Amino acid sequence: MYAANAAQPDARRFAALVRRRWTVSLALTVAMLAIYYGFIVMLAFRADWLALRLGERLTLGLPVGLGVIFASWLLTGIYVRWANGSHDAAVLHLKNAMQEGGE
């Protein structure tokens, strides 16, 4: 369908697309690393915080652990929402422009 070196995307807009993609990806990666390692470091150095009582017996540790699971759902959800929306639209736009032989 596409010849190897025939069509090229608009260089400036393509570079912006790639930059935006990695800005979003790396920001979310850093957030995931911070949340997970924050949890590990807390376990290693301030485990007493996780033993704080919330109710009669329940401690802070269980909701914090669950929170890490929810955070990984939330972050993947944010990425999919962004990528399926504005990112895919930008990709489609660049591809269409390429097929028409550039702008």
Give the residues lining the site for other proteins (CB under 8 A).
1-2, 4-5, 8-9, 14, 17-18, 21, 25-26, 28-29, 32-33, 36-37, 39-41, 43-45, 47, 50-51, 55-59, 61-62, 65-66, 68-70, 72-73, 75-77, 79-80, 83-84, 88, 91, 94-95, 98
Question: E-strand spans in 3-101?
Answer: none
H/E segment holding residue 76: helix 61-82
Query: 77 vs 102, which CB is nearer to other proteins?
Result: 77
| Residues near 5 by beta carbon (within 8 Å), at least 6 away in sequence | none
- Name which of 42, 20, 21, 27 is nearest 75 in CA terms: 27
CB of 52 to other proteins, least distance (A): 10
CB of 97 to other proteins, least distance (A): 11
What is the rounded CA–CA span in Å between residue 27 and residue 40? 20
